[in-house]
Homo-oligomer: A and B are copies of this chain.
C-alpha cells in the first residue's frame, strides 16, 4: 500500500512534509487556501499531480470561506484566490488544470445556492484526489507491459505516490510491473538540488519492498555505459502538444544518455499534464529557484560566499528522445501531435 501524501478530513487537508523525509514523518494540517499556497510554494507538497490535488483543496477551502451574497461576487473573489494558488509555481500545468476545473465547476453550478455550491466544490476536490490514484493505476497497467520480465529501471526525481494522489506515475508503472510478477530493480538518481530521488523515491520504494539502489545524478551515464540499465521512466510537469516533456532538471541529460546507449526512455503522466495550448516545449515556463538550494545542504555551506549560482528547477526533453508517453488512456509513441490530441479528446471517466 503506497502512501497518500494528501489526506482530507473534516475541513482539513493533512500533508506529509516532504522536505523532512526520510528523517522525519511530519504531517501538517492546512485549513485555508493561503496555507495550501505556501505548502506548494515551499515544497511541503511537490510533484505535478500532487500539486494539482493540493490546489483543488486550496480552492475548495477558499470557496468555503468566501462571504458573498451572490454568485458574481463569489466568482470574482474565487478567481482572486485561485490566482494566488496559481502563482505559487509556474511549470507544472496540473496546478492550472486543477484550478481551471474548479472554476469551471463553479460556473457550471452557478444556479446552486452558495452553500450547496461550496459543497459541490469540495466534492470536486475530493474527486480530483480520488481520480488521480485511479488514473495512476490505469497508467501502471498500460505502462508495465513495456518493461521486460526482469530488468533494471532508472528513474529521476520522484514521480511516485508522494508526487500524486497515490500510487505514482513513473513509480506507479514500476509498482504495476512488480504486481504483475516482474523482477524489477530500480536505480534512483538522487536528484539535486532537492534530493527527491534520495529522500523520496528511495524511501517510498523501500517501504514497498521494491529493490532500489541510490546513485548520484552524474553516475547514470556510467551505469548505462556498463549495460546496467534496461529502461528509463520519469514523470512530467508539463507536456506540450508535440510531445516535448518538461520535467525535473536533469531529465533531459538522462534522455540524451539513454538515446546514446539505445535504452528506451519512457514518460508516465496523466492527460492533465498534457498542455495542448503549447505547440512545443520552448513555450513552457521554467521555474528558477533559490540559490541556497544549490549552495547549502541542511545547515552546511557547500560553496563559497557570494558565488554566482544558476538553479533552474526543470528542463525540457524534446519529443524525439521520448520512446513513449504513458497516459491513463493508453500509450503514445511516434507521432505525438496526433496521438496526444486524440488521447486528450476522448472523454473518459473512471
Contact = CB atoms under 8 A, between A and B. Distances in A.
A277 interface: no
Contact of A260 (B223, B256, B301): B256
Contact of A294 (B212, B216, B220, B305): B216
Interface stretch (A1-9, A100-108, A195-203): A195-203
A218 interface: yes
Interface in A190-238: 190-193, 195, 198-199, 202-203, 206, 211-223, 225
| Residue among A192, A222, A249 having the largest count of chain B Cβ atoms under 10 Å | A222
A253 interface: yes
Interface string A168-201: 0000000000000000000101111101001100
A222 B305 CA distance: 25
B213 A310 contact: yes
B249 A303 contact: no
B302 A300 contact: no
A202 B315 contact: no
Nearest to A302: B198
B252 A212 contact: no
Query: Which of A189, A198, A203, A306: most chain B CB closer than 10 A?
Result: A198
A174 to B, nearest CB: 16
Given A298-B298, A302-B199, A308-B211, A218 B221 contact: no
A225 B315 contact: yes
A2 to B, nearest CB: 15
Contacts of A88: none
Interface residues of A, number: 56
A124 B203 CA distance: 53
Nearest to A195: B302
Contacts of A187: 310
Given A256-B256, A308-B212, A218 B303 contact: no
A299 interface: yes
How many protomers of this protein does the assembly include? 2
A297 B300 contact: yes
Interface in A241-278: 249-250, 252-253, 256-257, 260
Contacts of A216: 192-193, 217, 249-250, 294, 311
Given A22-B304, A198-B302, A315-B222, A217 B217 contact: yes
Nearest to A293: B216
Contacts of A312: 219, 222
Contacts of A198: 294-295, 302-303
7 contacts: A190-B303, A212-B308, A214-B295, A215-B310, A220-B253, A221-B250, A221-B315
Interface of A: 22-23, 156, 187, 189-193, 195, 198-199, 202-203, 206, 211-223, 225, 249-250, 252-253, 256-257, 260, 294-295, 297-312, 315-316
Given A221-B252, A298-B299, 10 more contacts: A22-B303, A22-B305, A189-B218, A190-B303, A198-B303, A202-B303, A202-B307, A222-B249, A297-B298, A297-B302
